[in-house]
Amino acid sequence: AYNSGIAVRRTIALCYVASGVLTSIGALFFAARLGTVGGDIGVGLEVTALTATVLGGITLGGGNGSVAKALAGTLIVLLVTNGLTTLSVRGGYNRMVLATILLVAAIIDIRWLKNRARIISKVYVAPTYHYLPPAPSTEIGKGGPFEQNDKLRDVTLIGLGRIEAPEDVILDRHDNLYAGSRHGDIMRFLAPDYQQMEVFAHIGGQPLGMAFDRQDNLYCCIGGMGLYRISPDRKIEKATDETNRSLWSVNDDSRLRLADDLDIADDGRIFFSEATVRYEMHEWPVDGLEARGNG
Protein backbone atom coordinates (compact mmCIF):
# COMPACT_ATOMS: atom_id res chain seq x y z
CA ALA A 1 0.00 0.00 0.00
CA TYR A 2 2.85 2.38 0.82
CA ASN A 3 4.56 1.71 -2.52
CA SER A 4 1.27 2.45 -4.27
CA GLY A 5 1.35 5.97 -2.83
CA ILE A 6 -1.21 5.41 -0.06
CA ALA A 7 -0.69 7.24 3.24
CA VAL A 8 -0.89 4.04 5.29
CA ARG A 9 -1.00 5.42 8.83
CA ARG A 10 -3.53 8.12 8.00
CA THR A 11 -5.71 5.66 6.08
CA ILE A 12 -5.72 3.14 8.94
CA ALA A 13 -6.51 5.88 11.47
CA LEU A 14 -9.38 7.19 9.34
CA CYS A 15 -10.77 3.65 8.98
CA TYR A 16 -10.87 3.23 12.75
CA VAL A 17 -12.42 6.67 13.24
CA ALA A 18 -15.05 6.02 10.56
CA SER A 19 -15.87 2.62 12.07
CA GLY A 20 -16.31 4.17 15.51
CA VAL A 21 -18.51 6.98 14.19
CA LEU A 22 -20.74 4.60 12.21
CA THR A 23 -21.02 2.27 15.22
CA SER A 24 -22.05 5.14 17.49
CA ILE A 25 -24.66 6.31 14.96
CA GLY A 26 -26.05 2.78 14.78
CA ALA A 27 -26.15 2.61 18.58
CA LEU A 28 -28.10 5.88 18.76
CA PHE A 29 -30.71 4.61 16.30
CA PHE A 30 -30.98 1.27 18.10
CA ALA A 31 -31.35 2.87 21.53
CA ALA A 32 -33.91 5.35 20.16
CA ARG A 33 -35.91 2.47 18.69
CA LEU A 34 -36.01 0.67 22.06
CA GLY A 35 -36.50 3.89 24.00
CA THR A 36 -33.81 3.07 26.57
CA VAL A 37 -30.05 3.33 27.02
CA GLY A 38 -29.50 0.59 29.59
CA GLY A 39 -26.14 -1.12 29.94
CA ASP A 40 -27.40 -4.36 28.42
CA ILE A 41 -28.74 -2.75 25.25
CA GLY A 42 -27.08 -4.26 22.18
CA VAL A 43 -25.68 -7.32 23.95
CA GLY A 44 -25.36 -10.13 21.39
CA LEU A 45 -25.38 -7.86 18.36
CA GLU A 46 -21.68 -8.61 17.82
CA VAL A 47 -22.63 -12.15 16.81
CA THR A 48 -25.19 -10.76 14.38
CA ALA A 49 -22.65 -8.35 12.88
CA LEU A 50 -19.95 -11.01 12.51
CA THR A 51 -22.42 -13.43 10.93
CA ALA A 52 -23.53 -10.79 8.43
CA THR A 53 -19.89 -10.00 7.64
CA VAL A 54 -18.83 -13.59 6.98
CA LEU A 55 -22.00 -14.48 5.07
CA GLY A 56 -21.33 -11.42 2.90
CA GLY A 57 -18.08 -12.97 1.72
CA ILE A 58 -15.76 -10.75 3.78
CA THR A 59 -13.11 -12.96 5.39
CA LEU A 60 -12.41 -12.84 9.12
CA GLY A 61 -8.72 -12.35 8.37
CA GLY A 62 -9.35 -9.19 6.39
CA GLY A 63 -9.04 -8.58 2.68
CA ASN A 64 -11.30 -7.29 -0.04
CA GLY A 65 -14.84 -6.31 0.82
CA SER A 66 -17.59 -4.13 -0.55
CA VAL A 67 -20.78 -2.41 0.52
CA ALA A 68 -22.79 -4.78 -1.67
CA LYS A 69 -21.31 -7.83 0.09
CA ALA A 70 -21.99 -6.35 3.52
CA LEU A 71 -25.58 -5.53 2.57
CA ALA A 72 -26.10 -9.04 1.19
CA GLY A 73 -24.86 -10.60 4.43
CA THR A 74 -27.00 -8.25 6.49
CA LEU A 75 -30.08 -9.12 4.41
CA ILE A 76 -29.51 -12.86 4.97
CA VAL A 77 -29.17 -12.35 8.73
CA LEU A 78 -32.32 -10.21 8.81
CA LEU A 79 -34.27 -12.89 6.94
CA VAL A 80 -33.08 -15.58 9.37
CA THR A 81 -33.76 -13.42 12.43
CA ASN A 82 -37.22 -12.35 11.27
CA GLY A 83 -38.06 -15.95 10.37
CA LEU A 84 -37.09 -17.17 13.82
CA THR A 85 -39.04 -14.32 15.42
CA THR A 86 -42.10 -15.22 13.37
CA LEU A 87 -41.79 -18.80 14.63
CA SER A 88 -41.76 -17.41 18.20
CA VAL A 89 -38.25 -18.75 18.88
CA ARG A 90 -36.80 -17.43 22.15
CA GLY A 91 -33.97 -14.91 22.12
CA GLY A 92 -31.35 -17.35 23.42
CA TYR A 93 -32.11 -19.89 20.69
CA ASN A 94 -32.11 -17.10 18.15
CA ARG A 95 -28.53 -16.16 19.01
CA MET A 96 -27.53 -19.83 19.10
CA VAL A 97 -28.76 -20.32 15.53
CA LEU A 98 -26.82 -17.27 14.38
CA ALA A 99 -23.72 -18.49 16.22
CA THR A 100 -24.03 -21.88 14.50
CA ILE A 101 -24.33 -20.21 11.10
CA LEU A 102 -21.28 -18.08 11.95
CA LEU A 103 -19.28 -21.14 13.00
CA VAL A 104 -20.09 -23.03 9.78
CA ALA A 105 -19.32 -19.97 7.64
CA ALA A 106 -16.03 -19.40 9.49
CA ILE A 107 -14.94 -23.02 8.93
CA ILE A 108 -15.71 -22.73 5.21
CA ASP A 109 -13.90 -19.38 5.09
CA ILE A 110 -10.76 -20.78 6.77
CA ARG A 111 -10.70 -23.86 4.54
CA TRP A 112 -11.15 -21.73 1.43
CA LEU A 113 -8.34 -19.35 2.38
CA LYS A 114 -6.05 -22.29 3.07
CA ASN A 115 -6.67 -24.02 -0.26
CA ARG A 116 -7.62 -21.07 -2.47
CA ALA A 117 -4.28 -20.73 -4.23
CA ARG A 118 -4.03 -24.47 -4.83
CA ILE A 119 -7.53 -24.73 -6.29
CA ILE A 120 -7.13 -21.70 -8.55
CA SER A 121 -3.69 -22.80 -9.76
CA LYS A 122 -5.05 -26.20 -10.79
CA VAL A 123 -7.81 -24.59 -12.82
CA TYR A 124 -6.10 -21.43 -14.09
CA VAL A 125 -2.49 -22.35 -14.83
CA ALA A 126 -2.23 -24.19 -18.17
CA PRO A 127 1.42 -25.02 -18.92
CA THR A 128 2.60 -26.11 -22.35
CA TYR A 129 5.79 -27.58 -23.79
CA HIS A 130 8.45 -25.04 -24.70
CA TYR A 131 11.51 -26.17 -26.62
CA LEU A 132 14.73 -24.37 -25.74
CA PRO A 133 17.56 -24.52 -28.29
CA PRO A 134 21.05 -25.56 -27.14
CA ALA A 135 22.73 -22.86 -25.07
CA PRO A 136 25.50 -20.94 -26.89
CA SER A 137 29.03 -21.69 -25.80
CA THR A 138 30.68 -19.44 -23.21
CA GLU A 139 34.21 -20.75 -23.80
CA ILE A 140 36.94 -18.26 -24.61
CA GLY A 141 37.99 -18.33 -28.24
CA LYS A 142 34.78 -19.86 -29.58
CA GLY A 143 33.45 -16.51 -30.80
CA GLY A 144 30.00 -16.97 -29.26
CA PRO A 145 27.83 -14.05 -28.10
CA PHE A 146 28.26 -15.15 -24.47
CA GLU A 147 31.99 -15.74 -24.65
CA GLN A 148 33.72 -14.84 -21.38
CA ASN A 149 35.63 -11.56 -21.51
CA ASP A 150 36.86 -8.75 -19.28
CA LYS A 151 35.79 -5.76 -21.35
CA LEU A 152 33.86 -4.28 -18.41
CA ARG A 153 36.70 -4.64 -15.94
CA ASP A 154 37.55 -0.93 -15.87
CA VAL A 155 34.02 0.50 -15.78
CA THR A 156 32.88 2.99 -13.15
CA LEU A 157 30.05 1.69 -10.95
CA ILE A 158 27.14 4.05 -10.29
CA GLY A 159 24.96 3.70 -7.20
CA LEU A 160 26.65 0.53 -5.93
CA GLY A 161 24.93 -0.43 -2.66
CA ARG A 162 22.68 2.65 -2.86
CA ILE A 163 19.94 1.56 -5.25
CA GLU A 164 18.16 -1.81 -5.44
CA ALA A 165 16.90 -3.59 -8.57
CA PRO A 166 17.20 -0.87 -11.24
CA GLU A 167 15.58 -2.20 -14.44
CA ASP A 168 15.98 0.57 -17.02
CA VAL A 169 18.17 3.68 -17.16
CA ILE A 170 17.86 6.84 -19.23
CA LEU A 171 19.66 10.17 -19.64
CA ASP A 172 17.92 13.56 -19.87
CA ARG A 173 19.07 16.45 -22.06
CA HIS A 174 21.40 17.58 -19.23
CA ASP A 175 23.04 14.11 -19.02
CA ASN A 176 21.50 13.35 -15.63
CA LEU A 177 20.91 9.62 -15.19
CA TYR A 178 17.55 8.17 -14.09
CA ALA A 179 16.81 4.67 -12.80
CA GLY A 180 13.99 2.94 -10.93
CA SER A 181 14.25 0.99 -7.68
CA ARG A 182 12.27 -1.87 -6.18
CA HIS A 183 10.97 0.53 -3.51
CA GLY A 184 8.93 2.40 -6.12
CA ASP A 185 11.29 5.36 -6.44
CA ILE A 186 12.73 7.05 -9.54
CA MET A 187 16.31 7.89 -8.59
CA ARG A 188 18.36 10.61 -10.30
CA PHE A 189 22.16 10.64 -10.45
CA LEU A 190 23.47 14.11 -11.23
CA ALA A 191 26.02 14.68 -13.99
CA PRO A 192 28.92 14.78 -14.59
CA ASP A 193 30.30 12.22 -12.12
CA TYR A 194 26.92 10.63 -11.11
CA GLN A 195 27.94 10.36 -7.46
CA GLN A 196 25.21 12.63 -6.07
CA MET A 197 21.92 10.72 -5.89
CA GLU A 198 18.42 11.98 -5.10
CA VAL A 199 14.85 10.68 -5.16
CA PHE A 200 13.35 12.31 -8.24
CA ALA A 201 9.86 10.89 -7.62
CA HIS A 202 8.11 8.23 -5.54
CA ILE A 203 5.44 6.42 -7.55
CA GLY A 204 5.26 2.99 -5.96
CA GLY A 205 5.11 -0.40 -7.61
CA GLN A 206 8.15 -1.56 -9.61
CA PRO A 207 9.45 1.07 -12.08
CA LEU A 208 10.56 -0.65 -15.30
CA GLY A 209 10.92 0.90 -18.78
CA MET A 210 11.37 4.69 -19.11
CA ALA A 211 11.36 7.27 -21.93
CA PHE A 212 11.33 11.09 -22.28
CA ASP A 213 8.97 12.99 -24.58
CA ARG A 214 9.68 16.31 -26.33
CA GLN A 215 8.47 18.29 -23.29
CA ASP A 216 10.93 16.45 -20.99
CA ASN A 217 8.13 14.51 -19.31
CA LEU A 218 9.43 11.17 -18.08
CA TYR A 219 7.11 8.26 -18.88
CA CYS A 220 7.60 5.11 -16.85
CA CYS A 221 6.03 1.65 -16.96
CA ILE A 222 5.18 0.62 -13.40
CA GLY A 223 4.77 -3.10 -12.83
CA GLY A 224 1.38 -3.73 -11.23
CA MET A 225 0.17 -0.14 -11.68
CA GLY A 226 0.30 0.91 -15.35
CA LEU A 227 1.91 3.78 -17.28
CA TYR A 228 2.80 6.96 -15.37
CA ARG A 229 4.14 10.39 -16.29
CA ILE A 230 6.48 12.58 -14.22
CA SER A 231 6.74 16.22 -15.30
CA PRO A 232 10.00 18.21 -15.04
CA ASP A 233 8.66 19.80 -11.83
CA ARG A 234 8.13 16.25 -10.41
CA LYS A 235 4.34 16.18 -10.69
CA ILE A 236 3.18 12.55 -10.97
CA GLU A 237 0.21 11.69 -13.20
CA LYS A 238 -1.30 8.40 -14.30
CA ALA A 239 -1.29 8.09 -18.08
CA THR A 240 -3.28 4.84 -18.17
CA ASP A 241 -3.79 1.67 -16.18
CA GLU A 242 -6.38 -0.19 -18.25
CA THR A 243 -7.21 -1.50 -21.71
CA ASN A 244 -10.11 -3.33 -23.36
CA ARG A 245 -11.23 -6.48 -21.59
CA SER A 246 -11.07 -9.76 -23.50
CA LEU A 247 -14.54 -11.12 -24.22
CA TRP A 248 -13.98 -14.69 -22.98
CA SER A 249 -11.38 -14.01 -20.26
CA VAL A 250 -11.92 -15.73 -16.90
CA ASN A 251 -10.02 -13.01 -15.03
CA ASP A 252 -10.54 -9.31 -15.59
CA ASP A 253 -7.64 -8.49 -17.93
CA SER A 254 -8.68 -4.87 -18.54
CA ARG A 255 -6.28 -3.69 -15.84
CA LEU A 256 -2.63 -3.49 -16.86
CA ARG A 257 -0.86 -6.12 -14.78
CA LEU A 258 2.76 -5.80 -15.89
CA ALA A 259 3.52 -2.78 -18.08
CA ASP A 260 7.11 -3.50 -19.03
CA ASP A 261 8.86 -1.27 -21.59
CA LEU A 262 7.95 1.66 -23.81
CA ASP A 263 9.03 3.97 -26.61
CA ILE A 264 7.69 7.30 -27.84
CA ALA A 265 7.23 7.93 -31.58
CA ASP A 266 8.06 11.23 -33.30
CA ASP A 267 4.38 12.17 -33.39
CA GLY A 268 4.05 11.71 -29.61
CA ARG A 269 2.31 8.34 -29.63
CA ILE A 270 3.44 6.00 -26.86
CA PHE A 271 3.98 2.32 -27.55
CA PHE A 272 4.45 0.10 -24.52
CA SER A 273 4.45 -3.62 -23.85
CA GLU A 274 2.64 -5.65 -21.23
CA ALA A 275 4.70 -8.68 -20.23
CA THR A 276 1.68 -10.76 -19.20
CA VAL A 277 -2.08 -10.29 -19.12
CA ARG A 278 -2.73 -13.31 -16.89
CA TYR A 279 -0.54 -12.86 -13.83
CA GLU A 280 0.41 -10.19 -11.34
CA MET A 281 3.81 -8.57 -10.92
CA HIS A 282 4.82 -10.93 -8.12
CA GLU A 283 3.64 -13.98 -10.09
CA TRP A 284 5.84 -13.57 -13.17
CA PRO A 285 7.73 -16.87 -12.53
CA VAL A 286 4.42 -18.73 -13.01
CA ASP A 287 3.98 -16.98 -16.34
CA GLY A 288 7.43 -18.18 -17.39
CA LEU A 289 6.69 -21.76 -16.34
CA GLU A 290 3.40 -21.71 -18.22
CA ALA A 291 5.44 -21.01 -21.39
CA ARG A 292 2.63 -19.36 -23.35
CA GLY A 293 2.48 -16.09 -25.23
CA ASN A 294 0.64 -14.12 -22.57
CA GLY A 295 2.22 -10.74 -23.31
Q: How does pLDDT run across 230-244, given as a tens digit for each residue?
A: 999 999 999 998 888
pLDDT tier, 61 (very low <50, low <70, confident <90, very high otherwise): low
pLDDT, average across residues 179-207: 94
Q: Which of 165-169, 196-200, 222-226, 243-247 has the lowest mean pLDDT?
A: 243-247
- β-partners of residue 46 are none
DSSP-derived secondary structure for 83-129: HHHHTT--HHHHHHHHHHHHHHHHHHHHHHHHHHHHHHHHHH-----
Q: How far apart are CA 171 and CA 159, in angstroms?
A: 15
pLDDT tier, 62 (very low <50, low <70, confident <90, very high otherwise): low
| pTM beyond 0.75 | no
Question: What sections of the chain are H helices per DSSP?
Answer: 8-34, 45-55, 67-86, 91-124, 284-290
Largest CA distance in the chain: 94
pLDDT, average across residues 25-45: 83
- β-partners of residue 242 are 255
* Residue 282 DSSP code: G
Q: Where in the chain is the domain with CATH 2.120.10.30?
A: 169-290
97-150 pLDDT per residue, tens: 888 888 888 787 777 777 776 777 677 788 889 898 998 889 888 888 899 988
CATH topology of domain 169-290: Neuraminidase (2.120.10)
